[in-house]
Structure 1
Amino acid sequence: MALLHDTDEVRRALSDLDYPAGKEAVVACAERNAASTEALKAVRALPLGDYANEDEILRSIPVDPAAPRQRTPAEQDQQSRQARQSKPGLAEHMREASPTPIEEELGENRGS
């Protein structure tokens, strides 16, 4: 997957895109606006789905961490949330549960 140095190339390529837009419409708009090879690779690598606005698209594009322009903290948070949602985790019944307020008040020997 291509890493962009800057999302500004994609922003320019999608300047006339109508939202909400699916991945196919995003790619078609970038091609129509003669986006750079790097920007085209990035939009083609987007996950399938509908994008409500430009920010959703830009948050979904991987950016080279060594590049001078870094993602904003909000963009970084959104991308890490998306990554966590796509990875398998523990089933809820296998997670350690926090004690409820009643369990905290009564302690371990609650009613026995």
Structure 2
Amino acid sequence: MNAELTKILNLLRQSPNFVMKENGGHGEAEIFSPEKVPDGSGICWVAGETILRNGVILPSVFQVDTNNGGTLLAAYWWIAKQWYLQGDNALKTLGFERKDAYPYDWKYHVKLCIDIYH
């Protein structure tokens, strides 16, 4: 996990009412604090929680595409004071097998106006 991404994830975890919106794909972004994340806002990063199949709840930050109904692009999990991209390394750190975690559910601290999953 690179230092810049870690800073962003920590900011959103520590300030869960903030959302980061990517602007144009050139590394530019803006931070805002909406009541709900508007549809058509592009790629946004939103803090929340992941609820694993076994009931374990993980602080999380999600990358979502609000131009496509809130499609989940990535989930980052805060485990043992460190960030992990969802997947096998995270599960290994937790001491879980895939069947313990998947399928999982999640919730956002700032809800999306359109969320095709919920």
TM over 0.5: no
Q: Normalised by the size of structure 1, how large is the TM-score?
A: 0.26
Q: Which has the larger radius of gyration?
A: 1
| Structure number with higher helix proportion | 1
| Structure number with higher strand proportion | 2
Q: Normalised by the size of structure 2, how large is the TM-score?
A: 0.26
